[in-house]
A and B are shown apart, each in its own frame.
Chain A
Amino acid sequence: EAGVAQSPRYKIIEKRQSVAFWCNPISGHATLYWYQQILGQGPKLLIQFQNNGVVDDSQLPKDRFSAERLKGVDSTLKIQPAKLEDSAVYLCASSLGDSPYQPQHFGDGTRLSIL
């Protein structure tokens, strides 16, 4: 079974620029999550999708962050404009979604550095 795919693996941009990350979940997984992991901390949920609908985006800074999962499969997370404090690893995870007990499977993330 192929895992969660994320790209790019690394990204370096200057502050105030825009950036986008892509995630392809495990085939058949209805639930998709985006997490932000700042150095030295555990991951923090940004947004959760069930198919193409948003379940939880309470921690997403909506003035600069946006995410979509238009066809209920792959997803993009965008930051516009980026700030220095956005430097972090952005992790995508997916789960089957047919039970609240299902474990989440994570990709290896995109490491974003803001100059």
Chain B
Amino acid sequence: DAKTTQPTSMDCAEGRAANLPCNHSTISGNEYVYWYRQIHSQGPQYIIHGLKNNETNEMASLIITEDRKSSTLILPHATLRDTAVYYCIVRASNFGNEKLTFGTGTRLTIIP
């Protein structure tokens, strides 16, 4: 799996949009970008994934650059419950390579 680089920590004011960057400059053509988050004392929670088009769901938006070397996860209106560690993961799209290789992620703190 390709390696990702994320900032160690970020702060965001409650009610503002939280923009979490991720670099994945060695991503290959069949690898997807996945985002998970982990709230304290809980297991990781799936947020969103994409290949090359921008994606949006009820939790977040994922913006992937045209060259696919970086992406940004956007939480449009951050709340205190969004305080968590956010993991950006690139993952192959073939059977037998479904494992998730987690880095250390970005610790996002939402400030009241």
Contacts and interface: CB of A to CB of B under 8 A. Distances in A.
B64 to A, nearest CB: 15
Interface stretch (A37-45, A66-74, A76-84): A37-45
B92 interface: yes
A106 B103 CA distance: 17
User: How extensive is the interface on chain A, given as a class?
Assistant: 20 to 34
Nearest to B41: A108
A23 to B, nearest CB: 11
Interface stretch (B18-26, B70-78, B93-101): B93-101
Contact of B100 (A43, A55, A101): A43
Contacts of B94: 100
B37 to A, nearest CB: 11
User: How extensive is the interface on chain B, given as a class?
Assistant: 20 to 34
A48 B98 contact: yes
Contacts of A31: 98
Contacts of B103: 42
Interface in A9-58: 31, 33, 40-45, 48, 55-56
Interface of B: 32, 34, 41-46, 49, 87, 92-105
Q: Lowest 7 CB-CB distances: which A-B pairs, in order?
A: A42-B102, A106-B43, A103-B46, A45-B99, A106-B44, A108-B43, A43-B102
